[in-house]
């Protein structure tokens, strides 16, 4: 979780990083935690899959938008 940038970075498989907006598509809360392959919003319990940001559990109406990132030398940057 990168709160200042409002993004969440996941690693679905080793070395494969994904970045999504941390703003929940339901009512705009910042999603709170990443565990067991899911990103969870603390406000109403929506869950998104870490691999593609798609909705695993509502009430979120849409997937988290992905953000482009670059990974080099062990550092992740927003592209
Ligand atoms: S704002 Fe995230 S579940 Fe409602």
Give me the domains of the chain, ranges plus CATH numbers: 7-78 (2.102.10.10)
pLDDT at residue 17 in the model: 92
The band of 68, judged by pLDDT with boundaries at 50, 70 and 90, is very high
Q: For 13-43, write each residue's pLDDT tens digit.
A: 998 899 999 999 999 999 988 999 999 999 9
For 39-63, b/e burial (b = at least 16 CB within 10 A) is bbbeeeebbbbbeebebbeeebeeb
Q: Are strands 7-13 and 16-21 parallel, antiparallel or unpaired?
A: antiparallel
Cα 31 to averaged position of ligand 1 atoms, centre (Å): 8
Would you say the CB of residue 39 lies under 6 angstroms from ligand 1?
no
Residue nearest ligand 1's atom 3 by CA: 44
Would you say the CB of residue 43 lies under 6 angstroms from ligand 1?
yes
């Amino acid at each position: 979780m990168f709160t200042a940038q409002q993004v969440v970075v996941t690693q679905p498989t080793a070395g494969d990083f994904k970045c999504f907006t941390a703003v929940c598509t339901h009512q705009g809360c910042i999603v709170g935690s990443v565990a067991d392959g899911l990103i969870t919003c603390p406000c109403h319990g929506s869950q998104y899959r870490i691999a593609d940001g798609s909705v695993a559990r509502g009430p979120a109406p849409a997937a988290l938008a992905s953000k482009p990132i670059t990974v080099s030398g062990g550092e992740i940057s927003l592209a």
